[in-house]
Amino acid sequence: MNRGVISYTDDLTAVREDMLRGFFVGWPRRPSPAQHLAVLRASYRSVVAIDDAAGRVAGFVNMLSDGILTAFIPWLEVLPEYQRQGIGDELMRRVLADTDRLYSVDLVCDAELLPYYARFGMASASGALLRHPAALGDALVSPEPKRFPPGET
C-alpha cells in the first residue's frame, strides 16, 4: 500500500463512510461505517488520522463529555497496517489537549493496555460494563443523535 503523509484533524466534514473501513478489529460484531461516522460526528471531541495518499482514515479517537467536569474516551483505534508509527500516541495527545479543566477523563481498556495509557498520565481503576451487541445490527443510523431535554429520558 502506498502510504502518504498522515494528517490529523478534528474537522470531520470531509470524512466519508468509505474512509472508515477495516476498523473494530477483533470485535465479534462491528459497527457499520455509517454508525461509526455518526458516533464520531456526535462525540464531544473526535480526532482522525488521515492517510492523504490512500484517502482513508488510518486511526481515530473520540471523547464523550458533559463539557463541565467529566469525559470518557470510548474508542481509540489505529488500523493494523498503520500501527507502531506513533499515530495512536498523537491521537491521544490531541484528544487530551486542554482537558485540564475537567475533573475526570476516564476510559476502559484491557489490562494489558494499562501501561500504554499510563504514558498519558492515566491511572488504573476498576469499572463495570454493560454491552448490548444487538445495537450494532443493521438499524438505520440517524445523522443527528436524539437529545433529550433535561429530566426526560
pLDDT band at 138 (very low <50, low <70, confident <90, very high): low
DSSP state of 120: T
What is the CATH superfamily name and number for domain 6-125?
A: Gcn5-related N-acetyltransferase (GNAT) (3.40.630.30)
pLDDT of residue 83: 96
- Give the Cα-Cα-Cα angle 95, 122, 93 (nearest 5 degrees): 25
Burial readout 10-34 (b: 16 or more C-beta within 10 A, e: otherwise): eebeebeeebbeebeeeeeeebbbb
Q: Tell me the pTM.
A: 0.84
- Give CA 44 to chain center in angstroms: 11
Q: Would you kindly state where each structural domain of the chain is located, as residue ranges?
A: 6-125
Residue 132 confidence (pLDDT): 80
Whether 56 has a pLDDT exceeding 60, the answer reads yes
